[in-house]
């Protein structure tokens, strides 16, 4: 025994470009573990269509158990045309929902980080987006997407937006703790407390939890204003915390002001488990062609070090290597401007590795 800390990571490459981008991230994992002197044990498991073809199930008990018995899960993407016509309950999307539920992943973290080299590819003006770097905490297992009663008949449709105290407390705490790690970043809690009682409740609880973090600035903002502010002046945000529905919309807007789908990582976090994955899907149109951008998955790995392993210096190294590769002009097809040379998945991965 070396006595060094050993991290157990379950890797589930999945379908389409999943295996290509996860392979790149695992090379980066190997490089940072050598550089920073810690050990990792990576266990690969089947999930999605790849699992269905072998076991007749998108998510086997074996894969689920492995995810429950590791320090963090790294997921590529699942799904594709081959499995599109299966009954709803057997589809990859159902397996994704199941894994998130079984692991109790109640918080979804999505960064809006603009890399200097890609400032020009944002839909917003360079001076507006340059330097943007904030994190959205979206509540993932409660609110209107799950509340009862729900339904519709010929004359009415209805859903229920409901939050329990513990649901708001735990995501608020996670967001404040993250803000603390980021040098007491400002937290903006987004709600619709001027119209919705459930939002007033949300606001009250967030303020209660805030009492344990007096060093952190807390700002309340209505969701309609927040949607405007994200595109007007995104740099005013550092950490956003919000409910399931508002977070669904705001995290997409926030992500996209930074450029391409191939750049966007995410983390889903619970009390005991965590899963890291790119936002994008399995991209069947480019699968198997060494064309996929591996950065979203490599940045998801950086989030793992920041959130699950409390090693911000490793995360910082990975982000700096991504920034360096972009600054040196490496571009996969999704982020290349017309006329720019295009790198393959493996070339982009190598360019990042060379800078670790």
Evaluated on CA atoms 206, 211, 213, 217, the torsion sign reads: positive
**DSSP letters along 310-353, please?**
--HHHHHHHHHHHHHHHHTT---GGGPPTT-----HHHHHHHHH
Read off the tokens for 214. Answer: 């007096």
Q: Per-residue x/- mask for ligand NAD, residues 146 to 185, rule CB under 6 A?
A: ----------------------------------------
191 is known as an active-site residue: no
Alpha-carbon distances, residue 208 vs 202, 211, 333 (angstroms) = 10, 6, 47
- Which residues sit opposite 44 in a β-bridge? 11
Among 254, 293, 308, 349, binds ligand NAD (CB under 6 A): 293
| Residue least distant from ligand NAD (Cβ) | 281
Q: How many residues bind ligand NAD (CB under 6 A)?
A: 22
- Look up tokens 């057997």; give the residue: 90
* Nearest Cα residue to 278 out of 292, 290, 267: 267
Give me the least distance between CB of 317 and ligand NAD, in Å please.
22
Using CB under 6 A as the binding rule, whether residue 281 contacts ligand NAD is answered as yes
Of the pair 117, 187, the CB lying nearest ligand NAD is at 117
Task: Let me know: does 142 contact 108? Beta carbons within 8 Å.
Answer: no
Using CB under 6 A as the binding rule, whether residue 322 contacts ligand NAD is answered as no
Give me the least distance between CB of 18 and ligand NAD, in Å please.
7
**DSSP letters along 68-89, please?**
HTSSEEEEEE---GGGTTS-GG
| Site for ligand NAD, residues 18 to 47, rule: CB under 6 A | 21
224 is known as an active-site residue: yes
Give me the least distance between CB of 168 and ligand NAD, in Å please.
26
Of the pair 31, 335, the CB lying nearest ligand NAD is at 335
Distance CA 252, CA 248 (A): 7
Stretch that binds ligand NAD, among 76-84, 103-111, 126-134, 139-147 (CB under 6 A): 76-84
129: Cβ–Cβ under 8 A, 6 or more apart, which residues?
A: 114, 119, 122, 234, 257, 258
Using CB under 6 A as the binding rule, whether residue 268 contacts ligand NAD is answered as no
52 is known as an active-site residue: no
Q: Which of the following is catalytic: 53, 212, 224, 285?
A: 224
Alpha-carbon distances, residue 121 vs 91, 97, 258, 329 (angstroms) = 34, 32, 8, 13
Q: Which of the following is catalytic: 145, 180, 220, 222?
A: 145
Using CB under 6 A as the binding rule, whether residue 326 contacts ligand NAD is answered as no
Using CB under 6 A as the binding rule, whether residue 336 contacts ligand NAD is answered as no
Distance CA 215, CA 229 (A): 24
CA atoms within 13 A on the CB side of 176: 21
Using CB under 6 A as the binding rule, whether residue 90 contacts ligand NAD is answered as no
Read off the tokens for 238. Answer: 């550092």
Using CB under 6 A as the binding rule, whether residue 78 contacts ligand NAD is answered as yes
On the 0-12 / 13-18 / 19+ scale of CB atoms within 10 A, 228 is: exposed
Stretch that binds ligand NAD, among 129-137, 143-151, 283-291, 308-316 (CB under 6 A): 283-291
Among 179, 206, 334, 343, binds ligand NAD (CB under 6 A): 334
Stretch that binds ligand NAD, among 186-194, 208-216, 284-292, 312-320 (CB under 6 A): 284-292
Q: Which of the following is catalytic: 91, 113, 192, 291?
A: 192
Of the pair 112, 296, the CB lying nearest ligand NAD is at 296
- Interface residues with ligand NAD (CB under 6 A) are 17, 21, 77-80, 96, 261-262, 277, 280-286, 292-293, 296, 332, 334
Residues annotated as part of the active site: 145, 192, 224, 248, 252
């Amino acid at each position: 025994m070396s006595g060094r800390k050993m991290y157990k990571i379950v890797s589930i490459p999945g379908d389409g470009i999943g295996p290509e981008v996860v392979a790149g991230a695992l090379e980066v994992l190997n490089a940072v573990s050598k550089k920073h002197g810690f050990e990792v044990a990576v266990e690969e498991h089947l999930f999605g269509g790849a699992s269905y073809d072998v076991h007749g199930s998108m998510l086997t008990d074996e894969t689920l158990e492995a995810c429950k018995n590791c320090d963090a899960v790294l997921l590529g993407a699942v799904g594709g045309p081959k499995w599109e016509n299966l009954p709803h309950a057997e589809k990859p999307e159902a397996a994704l929902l199941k894994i998130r539920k079984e692991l109790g992943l109640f918080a979804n973290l999505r960064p809006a980080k603009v890399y200097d080299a890609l400032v020009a590819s944002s839909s917003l003006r360079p001076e507006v987006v340059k330097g943007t770097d904030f994190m959205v905490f979206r509540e993932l297992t409660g609110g209107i997407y799950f509340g009862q009663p729900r339904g519709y008949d010929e004359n009415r449709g209805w859903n229920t937006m409901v939050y329990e105290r513990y649901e708001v407390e735990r995501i608020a705490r996670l967001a404040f703790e993250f803000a603390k790690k980021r040098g007491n970043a400002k937290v903006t809690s987004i709600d619709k407390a001027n119209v919705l009682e459930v939002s007033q409740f949300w606001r009250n609880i967030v303020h209660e939890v805030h009492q344990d973090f007096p060093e952190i600035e807390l700002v309340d903002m209505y969701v309609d204003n927040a949607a405007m502010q994200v595109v007007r002046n995104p740099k005013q945000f550092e950490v956003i915390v919000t409910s399931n529905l508002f977070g669904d919309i705001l995290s997409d807007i926030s992500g996209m002001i930074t450029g391409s789908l191939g750049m966007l990582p995410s983390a889903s976090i619970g009390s005991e488990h965590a899963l890291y994955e790119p936002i994008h899907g399995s991209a069947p149109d480019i699968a198997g062609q060494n064309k996929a951008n591996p950065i979203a998955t490599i940045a998801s790995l950086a989030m793992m070090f920041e959130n699950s392993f409390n090693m911000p210096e490793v995360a910082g190294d990975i982000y700096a290597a991504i920034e360096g590769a972009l600054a040196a002009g490496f571009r996969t097809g999704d982020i290349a401007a017309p006329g720019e040379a295009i790198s393959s998945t493996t070339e982009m991965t190598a360019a990042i590795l060379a800078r670790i």
